[in-house]
Amino acid sequence: MYAVRAGLKKFNIPYNFEIKSIIQLYAQWIREGKLKVNSDWNKDLKVKFTVQDPCQLVRKSFGDPVADELRFVVKAVVGEENFIDMTPNKSNNYCCGGGGGYLQSGYTEARHHYGQIKFNQIKNTGATYCIAPCHNCHSQIHDLNDHFDGGYYTVHLWTLICLSLGILGENERAYLGPDLAELGL
Amino acid sequence: MTEPALDLKNQKAEFRKKVEELLPNGNLNLCFTCGTCAGGCPATGLENMDPRKFVRMVALGLDDEVLSTPWVWMCSMCMRCNYACPMNVDIAGMVGLARQAWPRDQRPKGIVNSCDMALKHDTCSAMGASEEDFQFVVEDVLEEVRETQPGWEDLQAPVNKEGAYYYLNQNSREPVTEPDEMVPLWKILHLAGADWTYGTKGWGAENYCMFAQDLEAWEHIVRVKAKAVEDLGCKVWLNTE
Ligand code: SF4
Ligand code: SF4
């Protein structure tokens, strides 16, 4: 998204549409009652979640307001008491090291070294799951777990929204850990 | 003095000129070496470099070092430094310019290849998926869900629906390697009653040409994507992330 926003500006390309992240719409639809998510499924389980603020979405695009929307959605879905924020966060968050083409750059050792900060941030929350609402973040945070043997799971936001709505299909659970793999089936 | 001081007169400083020309708001001269950028940068220490040092080297005209260090590919251009810098120095912008200065065939192959792949089709897919590939996968997955998931017989995944309000893009990873991951999105859009569509053109959400700092290719990709949204008459270009 950043590449398009920045590109439209840099190359003076006229356009007549709005650019949005679906995260903004998730929040809007939950508020409007169109997505009737709730966190009852996690009331007794108490599975803990943290969330990654993607640089391209937050710091480089819409700033703290979208980070707040993201938290609103996450809390609605997993329960406020089951959400643990990383520090620092929002616009001041550390990049995971998956951006800028890093994942394809071949500098794997450097990428792991870079990601150590993110890995520690996640581990320090004590959460079992890290929600990574950006593809590069998802790949990198998933890989950091494998590399440093983190013992956490990396999930997409859409997976949890559907889980909380009770509509997550059997084949749509690739990233859930064994604790949630069968929930609601 | 045992070591000779840096001979600044003989430095080329051409890159510095370029920075001043292309990043007029780059504030190169305002850096007072506080180190805030370096202190909060995960790439600090890699290749014995950090953002403060990089900015100093640019300012001092050490072109050879600035233009040869692979560190510019180990910085993720996350802009945390820009955000934290009290003088608004555009550090990430300088890293971008240094990337541009690398001959294309010497830039990291994986990034350049992903950019090249995206230029193959108007899909802009960095994994090289064609218009037909994408449409086939979407329709195939949709059919399976309708047949196997009770209650979802009416699920929609429109392709090239003119006049839809939202034009949804999709990272290539889903259609190419894990198509089932698209289904939760479709379900959410369905419940929200969103009027949306995919487009066979311009759907690839990723853009490695920007990372490769191949400006011509980057511009091409953005133009193809913008045209795809406008040709379908959509009002919102919706990103899945
Ligand atoms: S934070 Fe800004 S002023 Fe401080 S060293 Fe870095 S570039 Fe210079
Ligand atoms: S943009 Fe590069 S130099 Fe700046 S904080 Fe991020 S990784 Fe470090």
Q: Whose CA is nearest to atom 6 of ligand 1?
A: B37
pLDDT at B10: 67
Q: Which residues of B touch A26 (CB under 8 A)?
A: 188
Is A184 a domain residue? no
Q: What is the mean pLDDT of residues B185-195?
A: 98
Question: Given a cut of 90, is residue B227 above it in pLDDT?
Answer: yes
Q: For chains A and B, what is the number of CB pairs under 8 angstroms? A: 203
A185 domain residue, yes or no:
no
Q: What is the dihedral of CA B90, B96, B98, B102, to 10 degrees?
A: 180
Domain range holding A16? Answer: 2-172
Hey, which of B79, B91, B94 would you mutate to test ligand 1's pocket, going by the most ligand atoms within 8 Å of its Cβ?
B91
Q: What CATH number does the domain containing A148 carry?
A: 3.40.50
Residue B53 alpha carbon to ligand 1 centre in Å:
9
Examine the pLDDT at A39 and tell me if it is beyond 90. yes
Task: Say yes or no: B198 and B181 in one domain.
Answer: yes
Q: How far, in Å, from the CA of B86 to the mean position of ligand 1? A: 7
Has residue A10 been placed in a domain? yes
Q: What is the pTM of this model?
A: 0.94
CA B215, chain centre distance (Å)? 12
* pLDDT value for B8: 65
Whether pLDDT at B24 is above 90 = no
> Does residue B121 share a domain with residue B91?
no
Burial environment of residue A70 by CB neighbours within 10 A (0 to 12, 13 to 18, 19 or more): buried
pLDDT at position B1, please? 45
- Candidates A105, A120, A154, partner chain B, best to mutate (most B CBs within 10 A): A105
Tell me, yes or no, whether B130 and B229 share the same domain: yes
B56 CA to middle of ligand 1, Å?
A: 9
| Domain identity same for B137 and B82 | no
Higher-scoring residue by pLDDT: B79, A185? B79
Task: Check pLDDT > 80 for residue B11.
Answer: no
CA of B78 to the centre of ligand 1 (A): 15
Q: Measured between alpha carbons, how far is B11 from A30 in angstroms, rounded to an integer? A: 59
Same domain, B114 and B58: no
Residue B74 domain boundaries: 8-103
* A55 touches ligand 2 (CB under 6 Å): no
Strand partners, B166: B196, B236
What is the predicted pLDDT for the residue at B25? Answer: 78
Decide: A67 and A133 in contact? Cβ < 8 Å. no
pLDDT per residue over B56-106, tens digit each? 999 999 999 999 999 999 999 999 999 999 999 999 999 999 999 999 999
Query: Of B103, B138, B157, which residue constitutes the final position of a domain?
Result: B103
Last residue of a domain, one of B58, B78, B103: B103
- State which residue of chain B sits closest to A160, comparing Cα positions: B184
Check if B164 has its Cβ closer than 6 Å to any atom of ligand 2.
no
Expressed in angstroms and rounded, the spacing between residue B139 Cα and the centre of ligand 2 is 41
Same domain, B182 and B198: yes
| A2, A10, A94: residue with CB nearest B42 | A94
Same domain, B122 and B98: no
Probe ligand 2: pick from B78, B89, B90, max atoms within 8 Å of CB? B78
For chain A, how many structural domains are there in total?
A: 1
| Shortest-distance atom of ligand 2 to CA B91 | 4
Q: What percent of chain B has pLDDT over 90?
A: 91
Residue A114 lies in a domain: yes
- Flag if A17 and B238 touch (Cβ within 8 Å): no
What is the spatial distance between Cα B57 and Cα B179, in angstroms, rounded to a whole number? 46
Is A161–B180 a contact, with Cβ atoms under 8 angstroms apart? no
Greatest alpha-carbon span in chain B: 81
Q: How many domains does chain B have?
A: 2
Residue of B188, B193, B230 with shortest CB distance to A15: B230
Distances (CA, A) of A18 to A8, A26, B53, B205: 12, 16, 39, 16
* CA angle (B127, A70, A126) in 5-degree steps: 90
Of ligand 2's listed atoms, the one at least distance from the Cα of B82 is: 4
In this prediction, residues A59-64 reach a mean pLDDT of 96
Are both B99 and B114 inside the same structural domain?
no
Mean pLDDT of B141-162: 98
Q: Say if residue B215's pLDDT is above 90.
A: yes
Does ligand 2 come within 6 angstroms of the Cβ of A95?
yes
ipTM value, please give it. Answer: 0.96
B236-239 vs B166-168, strand pairing mode: parallel
> In this complex, which of B108, B188, B234 lies closest to A162 when CB atoms are compared?
B188
